[in-house]
Amino acid sequence: MMKPVKYNSSDNLYAIKTVMTEDHSEIMIGKLGRFSFQKGIYVYVGSAKRNIQSRIERHLKKEKKQRWHFDYLRPFVQVVEVETFSGEEGECQLFHRLMIENKGSIPVRGFGSSDCKCRAHLFFSETMEYENE
């Protein structure tokens, strides 16, 4: 069971924690290409300049027009937690902090970071855990 999403309307950053329950060898991620994903925890960090709630609710849906890189991954993962952040540290800094704190690695270069210089905004973590209820 997913923890409820708590929105603070003044927040403009979010992290979506997901779990992939089995390995997938060929997932097409938009124009980035096809990639293999191992089962485990993936965290996507994003931003919404306005109405963060509608952006996150869109990301939670599995069936939708594929617009963002996360939309291509979404059918293969279960969302287990969503957390919002004030945005003071910036999207890129938040991503790097969470990735370091969770000993993450980047599974797909360029995922979610086409509008910045980061290597990606999705990380994989072997050390993170989730409650499987």
**Is 131 domain-assigned?**
no
- State pLDDT tens for residues 10-55: 899 999 999 999 999 999 999 999 999 999 999 999 999 888 888 8
Number of residues in the chain = 133
In a domain, 7, yes or no: no
Distance of alpha carbon 9 from alpha carbon 132, whole angstroms: 29
The answer to whether position 2 is within a domain reads: no
Full residue range of the structural domain in which residue 88 is found: 13-125
Residue 3 is assigned to a structural domain of this protein: no
Is 133 domain-assigned?
no
Report whether pLDDT(133) > 70: no
Residues 6+ apart with CB under 8 A from 28: 34, 72
Q: Does a structural domain hold residue 94?
A: yes
**Counted domains in the chain:** 1
Residue 8 lies in a domain: no
CA torsion sign for 113, 100, 19, 86 is negative
pLDDT range class, residue 87, cuts 50, 70, 90: confident
